[in-house]
Amino acid sequence: MPGELSRAAAIVGAAEANEIGYPKTPKTALQLHMEAIKNVSNQTGIPISRINGVFGAGWSSQIAEHLGLHPDYIDTTAVGGCSFEMHVHHALAAIHAGIIDVALVTHGENGYSQRATGGRGTGRARGADPWDPGSLYSNPYGVTGAPSNYSHAMTRHMHRYGTTPADFAEIAVATRQWATLNPRAVMHSKETHPEGGPITVETVQKSRMISWPLTLLHVCLVTDYGGAVLITSPEIAKSLPTKPVWIAGAGENMSHSNMLEMGDFTATSAAASAATAYRMAGMGPEDMEMAMIYDSFTVTAGITAEMLGLAPKGEGFTLWKSGKAAPGGSFPINTNGGGLSFNHSGMYGMQLLVEAYRQLSGTAEDGVNGLPGKQTSARSCVVNGTGGSLSTTGTLVLVAD
């Protein structure tokens, strides 16, 4: 039995900024937001003025002001890359409660351009509190950023389950195959990047060591991205020219904020957020026909597949190694080319949403965002965002009409 909130709202459109990846001229986060919002308004025919809920990971009031909106619901949940899956969860609840009927979830982040702008125009708070426990008891030990943390989880997974770096490299290889079908992917081909195009496990393992056991190609890109989705009540969804993708289930959870408090380095709260989402949907992993899984690192995707019930514990990587997750496989995963090979701006949850909408609405293969072979026949998709240091998760079960 689906829960009360199941299908109480639908994603009715999803769009990106005009230029993403490595733009030739630097972009600000605000520009990336606005281009995506304008594009999703044009796509759906919903005027920007009709939006009455604004959801963003840290900039909601500035976004609403820039749009000249006075929304009835403002949400700035910012707990890392999964924030956008949580925004969808919150929008579903707010629409079901009758508070709003048109929600905008938006993302703009210039992970690439901020190198050229001296860190200006990022739209994110800067500078860490020296007394934050994560800073105080970790920073003295030389760790710098996500790769230096996530590697500890991969070591533990290898110890516990006997997995190897080469097993996880299979995830990068299959994901790159999807990127070759996405012209907007940074690693699409030699034309888009000197190192683009197909890779092998050997290529991954021989790339530069970043934080053992993670080499460079186990690690996501750092790019620019703007993306936006619109979520409406069923009544509005049925009146639009675009196809609705129904939010059948949604859930969120967290195990910790900083990695000092990660109890089990081989598990994430996706097990809990997925259980909530599946329960709401009245569906289970066996009903899913594809997945969009946050792949900040190969290990993130491998562990998450296990948490979502798509593979037994310790065997998540086999979905990729067996070719099931690759183009033409029986269970497509990360059909946009992933954070590993398509685009990863720092927070990747919006990229997951946009591609899930495209796949389930049958618009994943338009020559711009996808070449022949990218569109799958999937009618259901489990989407899972992961934020922080394997800390926070948001899971959605999305279904086509």
Residue whose C-alpha is closest to residue 367's, from 227, 182, 198, 228: 182
Three-state SS at 383: strand
Residue 24 or 208: which CB sits closer to another protein?
208
Binding-site member from 97, 116, 128, 209 for another protein (CB under 8 A): 209
Looking at 25, 47, 126, 144, which residue binds another protein (CB under 8 A)? 144
**Residue 72 or 137: which CB sits closer to another protein?**
137
Sole binder of another protein in the list 34, 199, 259, 292 (CB under 8 A): 259
Q: Give how far Cα 241 sits from Cα of 43, 74, 355, Å.
A: 9, 27, 19
Map tokens 């996706």 to a residue. Answer: 270
| Interface pick for another protein out of 98, 140, 367, 372 (rule CB under 8 A) | 140
Least separation in angstroms between CB 291 and another protein: 26
Distance between CA 136 and CA 248 in Å, rounded? Answer: 41
Question: What is the chain's alpha carbon radius of gyration, rounded to the nearest angstrom?
Answer: 19
The whole-angstrom separation of Cα 263 and Cα 271 is 14
Q: Does 221 bind another protein (CB under 8 A)?
A: no
**Of 53, 58, 213, 394, which one interacts with another protein (CB under 8 A)?**
213
Q: What's CA 378's distance to the chain center, in Å?
A: 18
Q: How far is CA 336 from the centre of its chain?
A: 11
127 binds another protein (CB under 8 A): no
Residue from the set 18, 76, 148, 322 that interacts with another protein by CB under 8 A: 148
Q: Which of 164, 260, 328, 330 binds another protein (CB under 8 A)?
A: 260
Segment contacting another protein (CB under 8 A): 74-82, 146-154, 198-206, 375-383? 146-154
Beta strand residue intervals within 323-379, DSSP E: none
Does residue 162 interact with another protein by CB under 8 A?
no
Determine, following the binding rule CB under 8 A, whether residue 206 of this chain makes contact with another protein.
Answer: no
Look up residue 159 and give its two tokens.
């110890």
Q: Which is nearer to another protein, 213 or 388 (CB)?
A: 213
User: Which residues have a Cβ under 8 Å from the Cβ of 300 and sit 6 or more positions away?
Assistant: 150, 293, 294, 386, 390
What does each C-alpha distance from 170 to 146, 174, 382 come to in angstroms?
Answer: 21, 6, 21
Q: Which region among 44-52, 80-88, 136-144, 184-192 touches another protein (by CB under 8 A)? A: 136-144
Among 156, 193, 243, 313, binds another protein (CB under 8 A): 156
Binding residue for another protein, selected from 62, 117, 155, 363, defined by CB under 8 A: 155
Binding test (CB under 8 A) with another protein, winner from 159, 190, 206, 238: 159
The torsion defined by the Cα of 228, 300, 151 and 198, in degrees rounded to 10, comes to -80
Asked if 219 interacts with another protein (CB under 8 A), we say no
Supply the DSSP string of 227-264, one letter for each residue.
EEEEEE-HHHHHTSSSPPEEEEEEEEEES-SSGGG-S-
**Nearer to another protein (CB atom), residue 153 or residue 228:** 153
Q: Is 366 in the site for another protein (CB under 8 A)?
A: no
In this structure, the strands spanning 290-293 and 380-387 are parallel
By CB under 8 A, the count of residues binding another protein is: 31
User: CB-wise, 41 or 114, nearer to another protein?
Assistant: 114
Nearer to another protein, 244 or 346 (CB): 346
Which listed residue (152, 184, 188, 374) binds another protein by CB under 8 A? 152
Q: What is the largest CA-CA distance in the chain?
A: 57
Q: Which residues bind another protein (CB under 8 A)?
A: 130-131, 133, 136-144, 147-148, 151-156, 159, 208-214, 259-260, 265
